[in-house]
Amino acid sequence: MKMVAFLALLLSIWAIAVVAWMMLRYTPAGGDAQYVFLWDRWENRVCLVSIGNPSRVICDPRSLWVDGQQGDGPSARRP
């Protein structure tokens, strides 16, 4: 039981670190966020939605590490 509690705590800390990293990466120096977080209940995941262009949605955290994307970063389009 202690092992399950430890793994749950470790996963929670990892999730908080990922969200904090995403917030730091997608918040400009002025402090106004370019993106807001959106919880996708159907896919059970957190997505970033651009305030200026709501059709720009980033849901795959693996795409945040991909270099050489067209435009100004990785994006996905809503259907």
Joined together, the tokens standing for residue 17 give 């670190």
Residue-level pLDDT at 64: 55
Which helix (DSSP H) or strand (DSSP E) does residue 47 occupy? strand 45-50
Q: Comparing C-alpha atoms, which of 7, 49, 10, 9 is closest to residue 26?
A: 49
The pTM for the full model equals 0.42
Q: How far apart are CA 45 and CA 60, in angstroms?
A: 9
- Which residue range is the domain that position 38 belongs to? 2-77
For the segment 9-63, what is each residue's pLDDT rounded down to a tens digit?
A: 999 999 888 888 877 776 665 556 677 777 777 777 778 787 777 777 777 766 6
Radius of gyration of the chain from its Cα atoms, rounded to whole angstroms: 15
Spatial contact of 47 and 37, defined as CB atoms under 8 Å apart: yes
Domain count, the chain: 1
Question: Which of the pair, 1 or 60, is modelled with greater confidence?
Answer: 1
